[in-house]
Chains A and B, each alone.
Chain A
Amino acid sequence: MPGFTVVFAQTASSFDVFLTKLIDGLALGSIYAILALGFVIIFKSTQVLSFAHGAVAAVGAYLAAYFVTTINWPGRYFESLPATLSFIISALVAVVVAAGVGMVIERLFIRPMIGEPMFSIAMITIGIDIILRTFVGDLIGQGGVLSVGSPWGILSLSTWSGIIVPHVFIAVIITAIAVVIALILFFRTRIGVAMRATAFDQEAAMAQGISAGKIFALAWALGAVLAAIGGIFSSISPRGFGVTGGTAFFALRAFPAIIIGGLDSIAGAVVGGFVIGVSEIMLGHYLANFSGTLGLGFTGLIPYLLMMGFLLVRPYGLFGTEEIRRV
């Protein structure tokens, strides 16, 4: 590796650039928040920390890419259908199939482990992660890339007084807001209340006639839906350029978000996601001149450095429930 220096002819530090990067960070944070919500819903409902979350995200992204690129569905049947709408339909179908994958995982691998040590279940999810990643990797091929298309167009940008906003950023922020609103409304429904009750006290909920098994299945389906949405957006430029062997690892960068927000906090997942996303983009931009010292890939470490800092200072995160132990 040769010595190198990042040379800037112009140092970009104007307020416009700040706002541009802030929106960039919020867009990235939206993806992290969506992924983190999936982690938290599964953990809160079933006390399982799913290390297969990234692999499920990759499955969802692969399914979307398969529909969009490989078979061009539904676009092949409706040539006049706008590309963005065709993509959204494909993505929705992919998300629904991913929900099914989540339910199958829960039924086959997780439910039989109820009552077993949590570490055993965590190991099971690591095994599922490896299986799913291998499966997706084989479908894509070594070193391969399967495009999910460019539903909002790489060249589609809006500028306001020097603030540059790719339309995909707007799309993902709106999606994150929609997801949060949908979850808030869901938790007010009868089944949503049942899920919250089960998360709060499983035995009491079962005594009230709530089927814990169905709630577990629903939690895994919801988690898979959120993983798939995050996986799809992480495969769209500028975050990614299609589904690759690395798609599953992107989701793991949301893990620090749930640590920062609190492992069992829905609100914490959202806040943690935005903290991580904005920090990553802002620090990546304003410290770029120091990349010769910090290393070119230093922005990828930012989420983990933040996580370590929070673990040291506030191990239960911003909104997490502190466990009270008798001594």
Chain B
Amino acid sequence: MNLRKKLIVVGFVFALIAAACGDSSGDTTTAAPATTAAPTTAAPTTAAPTTAAPTTTVAPPADEVKFDLGVDEDEIRIGLLADLSGPFSGLTVDIVDAQVTYWNDVVNANGGIDGKMVVPVIEDTVYNVATHGEKYTKIVDEVVAFSNSTGSPHTASILAQLKDDNVLAMPLSWYSGWADPEFDGGYAFELGSNYCLEGINVTEWLVDKFKAENDGALPRLAIVTRAGDYGQDAAAGVKYAAQQLGVEIVFDGEGLIVRSNPAEYTAADATPVITGLAGAAPDWVWLTSAPSETAVLMGGAIQAGVTAQWTGSVPSYDFRLLDSALGEALTGFYWATNYTVSWGTDVPGMADVSAALTAAFPDRRPSDAFLYGWTEARAMEAILRKAAADGDMTRQGVLDAANSVEVIPMDGAAPDQTYVGDPNDYVVRDMYMFKPDLAAYTAAGGADQKLSDGLGTTGSTFVEGPFVRPLARDFNFTGACWTQEEGNRISG
């Protein structure tokens, strides 16, 4: 073999290895929360884990509160298993910082809970299932509950341990299985609606909107989703609504968002989907994706001549996409759903959130993710106060409290939450709708905004919410809409 051939062989092998491997530390799974757009550079606020040893239950006098793991005379320790340096860190750093701010400035500054200070014990899971399990094992004996467990497959991977340890966790994920005791064993307590009900609710919303603007004509709908419990849970809901409303699905891209390289969704990966969309010529496209995938798909489809409106599951959109080349297209064609209000929406709870976070992080930009962290902390606070009021801050006491707290008020920042009764009774069906507005975002300073400059905006103009359309309101929720084993359980 001569030199040139050797070089070619080396080059070929190098190119193949490089193309196949790339940066393999990225997002390798389905599901989950919002963004792969540029993460914030601020270091997460990480509370130093305590080293409290497991204890036996302290039997208190009749009028005192009993406690064991994760609680002592002075502190209540709660765990956060968050992606602080992985692909979703742009979201979760804000969420964790909002939680910590809430515990410090709202709860502890006002005497704590039953006189005990709440101490967050934070671990970085890097959005890796194995690391998630390791970090869980590392801190589980120190905490009474987990107020954040980032990711669907990640949280699912620790369900058996949650049961063994008899400990509550709040997933940062909106899979419909979290409201299904058969799936989660009653240990995962979700916040807000879920991918499936969101799909039902928002599909009817978009159909209503299209009909109103097109003399009652029904939209030709396309569905493009990831595979797994994120994308296919949503697809089940959208297909159910389409069936009920008589809407034709002209392109069924359920599970077609697949990365050939875990680090990046490329134009080559998107080619079959964009080809399908261009051929189907839909009026509306439903996406269940990561924001980086939304950018590739929406940008590529528009440049291939697709002239549809777009909407999708909440994590498909991140306001930071307005910083990208897609900003103009988002403003023109995308409708952004949310489980909470967006930053700056005029609701009673916003003043407290913005004041506390501005004081804590004056140099950070506004973020919708702050509201997720804030509502997570509010929910956990309500549960812990109920447990304290019931005189039982053991893990079982906290679980009992979660199942008995009548209402967790969110002051308009999100739908009120409860876990009392049958899932069909308490599951959240409300959604919010926003319109990305590049002009408003840019006028406010765009990516250069600082909380200290004023309330600011994430460029999401309020459209409607909380809203529940009849199909979602009347849907009989009996369990997860989609499971790995059974597939779509509600719309065939």
Q: Which residues of A contact B (CB under 8 A)?
A: 1-2, 4-12, 20, 49, 51, 54, 69, 118-119, 122, 126, 137, 140-150, 153-155, 157, 159, 164, 166, 168, 236-242, 244-246, 248-250, 252-253, 255-256, 259, 263, 280, 284-285, 288, 291, 295-297, 299-300, 304, 307-308, 311, 315-316, 323, 325
Q: Say yes or no: B11 contacts A245, CB within 8 Å.
A: no
What's the Cα separation between A51 and B292 when bound, in Å?
28
Whether a CB of chain A sits under 8 angstroms from the CB of B86 is yes
Stretch binding the partner chain, chosen from B102-110, B209-217, B294-302, B393-401 = B294-302
Q: Say yes or no: A8 contacts B299, CB within 8 Å.
A: no
Q: Say yes or no: B487 contacts A2, CB within 8 Å.
A: yes
What's the Cα separation between A323 and B19 when bound, in Å?
29
Stretch binding the partner chain, chosen from B68-76, B255-263, B358-366 = B255-263
User: B residues 303-336 with Cβ under 8 Å of A?
Assistant: 303-305, 323-329, 332
Stretch binding the partner chain, chosen from B34-42, B380-388, B461-469 = B34-42
Stretch binding the partner chain, chosen from B111-119, B264-272, B409-417 = B264-272
Q: Say yes or no: B268 contacts A284, CB within 8 Å.
A: yes
What's the Cα separation between A107 and B195 when bound, in Å?
56
Given contacts A296-B269, A300-B268, contact A144 B5 (CB under 8 A): no
Choice from A9, A149, A240, A246 contacting B220 with Cβ under 8 Å: A9
Closest to B10 in A: A122
B10 CB contacts on chain A under 8 angstroms: 49, 119, 122
Please indicate which of the listed interface residues B16, B232, B249 has the most CB atoms of chain A within 10 Å of its own CB: B16
Closest to A317 in B: B8
Majority SS at the chain A contact face: loop
Count chain B residues whose beta carbon lies closer than 8 angstroms to a beta carbon of A.
80
Given contacts A10-B281, A238-B267, A296-B269, contact A143 B326 (CB under 8 A): no
Closest to A168 in B: B303
Q: Which residues of B contact A (CB under 8 A)?
A: 2-8, 10-12, 14-16, 18-19, 22-23, 25-27, 36-39, 41, 85-89, 220, 227, 232, 248-256, 258-261, 263-264, 266-269, 271-276, 278-281, 292, 295-296, 299-300, 302-305, 323-329, 332, 487
Given contacts A6-B272, A8-B276, A296-B256, contact A246 B15 (CB under 8 A): no
Our count of residue pairs bridging A and B at CB distance below 8 angstroms stands at 229
Given contacts A141-B38, A143-B27, contact A51 B11 (CB under 8 A): yes
B14 CB contacts on chain A under 8 angstroms: 51, 126, 252
What's the Cα separation between A245 and B36 when bound, in Å?
12
Closest to A258 in B: B11
Name the distance in Å between A283's Cβ and chain B's nearest Cβ. Answer: 10
Q: Say yes or no: A284 contacts B280, CB within 8 Å.
A: no
What's the Cα separation between A159 and B380 when bound, in Å?
55
Q: Say yes or no: B38 contacts A140, CB within 8 Å.
A: yes
Q: Say yes or no: B23 contacts A137, CB within 8 Å.
A: yes
